[in-house]
């Protein structure tokens, strides 16, 4: 029997805003589009008390909760926090299937020997998330995805609902049929017309009625109504590229400062590469100057590396070459990227020393956050780096277009 967890952060965007700005704690906070056609992306539980729901037009929310705090979404920030949360998931299993920034399925069947029961794992994850981010999550535990998802939704916020196989009927039967995946506003009235209001009633309905309504799909809905769901938890495929870039609020002119920034970025990038048990063959440097001219330079290594030092050295070398052609040009943005990944290979000789140091740094950073530890070079200009605009903390290839709009957001 499989052990599946569905974890869903409570009012995620709104909770991040409340966490980031203590003045918002306990207030009705509504995150969403503020224009005429804006919709609510997230509402704090204080705002939900007024009847505000996500996907509701913001104009309607304003009528319900005129005194609430309305904020535009800061997707880059939510993505950053989401990264922290997903890193916690991956401590317990590699089988993590993200559904959105704040929601995922985890198959922890293979982790039970190491970490204890699925409830133990669920509690540990909730605790780790709270410790690392100050945010609450709801969690559902069951032997398949369908039940786990319904369970996490059953007692929000801060829900913790475990459905044992012998409780499936008691759990499912009273729920409205609408809770079955695929039954929506169109099908529900037809079922109601035949006296089928709950999942239990659907389970016991006349098969001819179901065939009449659903055709070939009748068996599928019957299986769901019995709590049966064979779908696997499918983790995302490894990224095609992993990168990090930073726009500075004051252009950089000092090569030493630029290199310190590259080291910090290489650290961030390679931590993510190693976490996926990958090694990268290609290193890319991105430079944007004060006139918004952007250059990218890449170098492909003879053998793949998982070492921060190697990637940093390549990026620094590419930067020196760029500087040779652009003497004294102020730099507005720097980025380090890696691609052409190879999977699961042993580190090469030149990686060995850095890898063990890297592993130590990764462990400390995972535990205490990235501010707790900085390598020598980055340390000297810590103050400078910290003033950089946190524009695109976590750009990963195709998602770039979405994040780049976030720079001008509030604060």
Give the list of residues 6+ apart from residue 232 with CB closer than 8 angstroms, or none: 107
Do residues 322 and 295 touch, judged by C-beta distance below 8 A? yes
Q: Please tell me whether residue 102 binds Mg ion under the rule CB under 5 A.
A: yes
103 catalytically annotated: yes
Range in contact with Mg ion (rule: CB under 5 A) among 24-32, 95-103, 267-275, 283-291: 95-103
Task: Tell me the closest approach of the beta carbon of residue 129 to Mg ion, in angstroms.
Answer: 12
The pair phi, psi for residue 376, each rounded to 5°, is: -45, -55
Range in contact with Mg ion (rule: CB under 5 A) among 18-26, 100-108, 197-205, 315-323: 100-108
Task: Tell me the closest approach of the beta carbon of residue 31 to Mg ion, in angstroms.
Answer: 12
Question: Shortest CA distance to 282 belongs to which of 337, 350, 227, 363?
Answer: 337
Task: Tell me the closest approach of the beta carbon of residue 128 to Mg ion, in angstroms.
Answer: 17
Of 16 and 69, nearer to Mg ion (C-beta) is: 16
Interaction residues for Mg ion, span 245-304 (CB under 5 A): none
Of 8 and 396, nearer to Mg ion (C-beta) is: 8
Interaction residues for Mg ion, span 213-242 (CB under 5 A): none
What count of other Cβ atoms lies within 10 Å of the Cβ of residue 376? Answer: 8
- Phi/psi zone of residue 395: left (φ > 0), alpha (ψ -120 to 50 degrees), beta? beta
Size of site (CB under 5 A) for Mg ion: 4
Could you give the string, one character per residue 11-30, with x where binding to Mg ion holds by CB under 5 A and - elsewhere?
-x------------------
Of 158 and 231, nearer to Mg ion (C-beta) is: 158
Q: Please tell me whether residue 351 binds Mg ion under the rule CB under 5 A.
A: no
Of 85 and 316, nearer to Mg ion (C-beta) is: 85
* Cα 54 to Cα 135: distance, rounded to the nearest angstrom: 19
Question: Shortest CA distance to 47 belongs to which of 17, 63, 27?
Answer: 27
Range in contact with Mg ion (rule: CB under 5 A) among 2-10, 177-185, 278-286, 319-327: 2-10
What count of other Cβ atoms lies within 10 Å of the Cβ of residue 398? Answer: 10
- Start-to-end C-alpha separation, the chain: 49
Range in contact with Mg ion (rule: CB under 5 A) among 10-18, 152-160, 309-317, 388-396: 10-18
The alpha carbon of residue 372 and the mean position of all alpha carbons in its chain are separated, in whole angstroms, by: 22
Burial of 112 (0-12, 13-18, 19+ CB in 10 A): middle
* Cα 246 to Cα 287: distance, rounded to the nearest angstrom: 10
- How far is residue 264 from each of residues 258, 259, 340, 371, 386, measured CA to CA in Å? 10, 9, 21, 11, 11
Task: Tell me the closest approach of the beta carbon of residue 238 to Mg ion, in angstroms.
Answer: 25
Do residues 5 and 125 touch, judged by C-beta distance below 8 A? yes
Of 17 and 102, nearer to Mg ion (C-beta) is: 102
Q: Please tell me whether residue 8 binds Mg ion under the rule CB under 5 A.
A: yes
Task: Tell me the closest approach of the beta carbon of residue 216 to Mg ion, in angstroms.
Answer: 33
Name the active-site residue from 17, 46, 103, 267.
103
Task: Tell me the closest approach of the beta carbon of residue 14 to Mg ion, in angstroms.
Answer: 10
Of 102 and 229, nearer to Mg ion (C-beta) is: 102
Residues that bind Mg ion (CB under 5 A): 8-9, 12, 102
Active site residues: 103
């Amino acid at each position: 029997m499989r052990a599946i967890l569905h974890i869903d952060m409570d009012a995620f965007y709104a909770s991040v805003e409340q966490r980031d700005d203590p003045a918002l704690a306990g207030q009705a906070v509504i995150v969403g589009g503020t224009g005429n056609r804006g919709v609510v992306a997230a509402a704090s539980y204080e705002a939900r008390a007024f009847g505000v729901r996500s996907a509701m037009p913001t104009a309607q929310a304003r009528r319900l909760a005129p005194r609430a705090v309305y904020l535009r979404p800061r997707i880059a920030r939510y993505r950053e926090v989401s990264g922290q949360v997903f890193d916690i998931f991956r401590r317990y299993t590699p089988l993590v299937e993200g559904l959105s920034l704040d929601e995922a399925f985890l198959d922890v069947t293979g982790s039970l020997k190491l970490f204890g029961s699925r409830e133990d794992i669920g509690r540990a994850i909730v605790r780790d998330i709270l410790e690392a981010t100050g945010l609450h999550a709801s969690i559902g535990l069951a032997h398949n995805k369908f039940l786990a998802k319904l369970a996490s939704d059953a007692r929000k916020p801060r829900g913790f609902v475990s459905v044992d196989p012998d409780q499936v009927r008691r759990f499912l039967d009273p729920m409205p049929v609408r809770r079955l995946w695929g039954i929506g506003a169109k099908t529900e009235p037809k079922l109601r017309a035949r006296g089928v209001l709950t999942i239990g009633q659907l389970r016991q309905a006349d098969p001819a009625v179901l065939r009449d309504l659903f055709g070939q799909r009748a068996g599928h809905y019957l299986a769901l109504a019995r709590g049966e769901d064979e779908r696997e938890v499918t983790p995302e495929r490894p990224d095609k590229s992993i990168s990090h870039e930073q726009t500075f609020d004051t252009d950089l002119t000092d090569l030493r400062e630029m290199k310190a920034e590259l080291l910090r970025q290489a650290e961030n990038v390679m931590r993510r590469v190693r976490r996926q048990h990958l090694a990268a063959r290609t290193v890319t440097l991105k430079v944007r100057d004060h006139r918004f001219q952007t250059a990218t330079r890449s170098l492909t290594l003879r053998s793949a590396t998982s070492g921060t030092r190697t990637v940093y050295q390549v990026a620094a070398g590419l930067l020196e070459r760029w500087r040779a052609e652009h003497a004294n040009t102020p730099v507005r943005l720097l980025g380090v990227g890696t691609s052409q990944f190879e999977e699961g290979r042993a580190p090469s000789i030149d990686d060995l020393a850095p890898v063990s140091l890297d592993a130590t740094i990764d462990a400390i950073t995972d535990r205490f956050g990235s501010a707790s530890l900085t390598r020598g070079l980055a340390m000297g200009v810590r103050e400078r780096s910290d003033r950089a605009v946190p524009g695109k903390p976590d750009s990963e290839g195709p998602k770039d277009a979405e994040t780049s709009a976030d720079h001008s957001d509030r604060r």
